[in-house]
Amino acid sequence: MSSEISESLAQEQFSKLLRVHRKMVFKVANTYARHPEDRADLAQEIAAQLWRAFPAYDPGRSFSTWMYRIALNVAISHMRSATRHAAHNVPLDGQLHETVGGHRAADGDADERVRALYDFIEGLEALDRALLLLYLEEHTYSDIAGILGITETNVATKISRLKQRIRSEMKG
């Protein structure tokens, strides 16, 4: 009976924390999955993995940092498996760029710049994509380092290089 009560309390606590931070799950899913169905599947997989890992969560640490780390790991694994799967499939239509990062493409110069930015982000390695996502979310270098398991110096260097790549590729 006691274990049922503690599991029920854990489920309630987890549900509350997930509701508070659910936007983060969707941001990660939107960054790593192109199509709406894939984004929904990825968000579901992230939530499932968070639940499986929840018993090991240390309440003395930041929940959002712990959550980002798990969400990004799930997303990177998802991206790798999707890449392997896509290597064996040929698209049936010529509409590869009908959407940009899962968003409808539109006309105009600003839209072209947005399309170019989405294409740039889509072409990044998994770690760089995670870095850029966290940077754009205005996380501190310290938070980013904690989430990704790298040093703050490494974060600063990689972000500086990403900014330079964006500048040079967006000009061209």
CATH number at residue 130: 1.10.10.10
Q: Does 52 lie in the same domain as 6?
A: yes
Within the chain, which residues score under 70 in pLDDT? 1-5, 81-109, 172
Q: Does 82 lie in the same domain as 127?
A: no
pLDDT of residue 51: 94
pLDDT of residue 1: 54
Domain-terminating residue out of 64, 91, 118: 91
Domain-terminating residue out of 69, 91, 113: 91
- Note every long-range contact of 150-157, with CB atoms under 8 Å and residues 24 or more positions apart, other chains counting: 155/131
| Helices vs strands, H then E, count in the chain | 8, 2
pLDDT of residue 70: 94
Tell me whether residue 96 is exposed, middle or buried, using C-beta atoms within 10 angstroms of its C-beta: 0 to 12, 13 to 18, 19 or more.
exposed
Note the helical H segments in 97-151.
109-122, 126-136, 141-148
The 10s digit of each residue's pLDDT in 99-140 is 344 444 444 667 787 778 778 888 888 889 889 888 888 889
Name the β-bridge partners of 100: 103
Instruction: Give a yes or no: residue 97 inside a domain.
Output: no
Instruction: Give a yes or no: residue 120 inside a domain.
Output: yes
Q: Does 122 lie in the same domain as 79?
A: no
Q: Does 120 lie in the same domain as 35?
A: no
Instruction: Give a yes or no: residue 81 inside a domain.
Output: yes
Instruction: Give a yes or no: residue 18 inside a domain.
Output: yes
Note the helical H segments in 54-122.
63-86, 109-122
Q: Does 81 lie in the same domain as 34?
A: yes
Domain-terminating residue out of 30, 59, 91: 91
To the nearest 10 degrees (0 to 180), the angle between helices 141-148 and 152-171 is 100
Q: Dmax of the chain from CA atoms?
A: 65
Residue numbers of the domain that contains 21 = 1-91
pLDDT of residue 20: 93
CA 102 to CA 98: how far, in whole Å? 9
Q: What is the pTM of this model?
A: 0.62
pLDDT of residue 113: 78
Q: Does 109 lie in the same domain as 73?
A: no
Are residues 49 and 74 in contact, defined by beta-carbon separation less than 8 angstroms? yes
Q: How many domains does the chain have?
A: 2
